[in-house]
Amino acid sequence: MEKEYQKMKEKFKLIIPLENTLTEARTIENLHQLIKNNNKSFNLTEEQLQLVTLLQ
């Protein structure tokens, strides 16, 4: 059982960075959509920026 657990831990080391990359990609997509909907203006309010991070 310990051997299987160690294998799982090794697999998680590969999966976790991928999950972080996907989260960052979603954040970028949300920012892009927000800027696009804001008449292509990069002047975003603090609330809008917080919303982007919440929508990950």
pLDDT, tens digit, 9 for 90 and up, residues 1-56: 888 888 888 888 888 888 888 888 988 888 888 888 888 777 878 888 887 778 77
pLDDT of residue 18: 82
Q: How far apart are CA 27 and CA 23, in angstroms?
A: 6
pLDDT of residue 16: 81
Instruction: Enter the pTM of the model.
Output: 0.64
DSSP tag of 41: -
Please list, in sequence order, all residues whose beta carbon lies within 8 angstroms of the beta carbon of residue 51, skipping any fewer than 6 positions away: 30, 34
pLDDT of residue 14: 80
Q: How far apart are CA 45 and CA 41, in angstroms?
A: 11
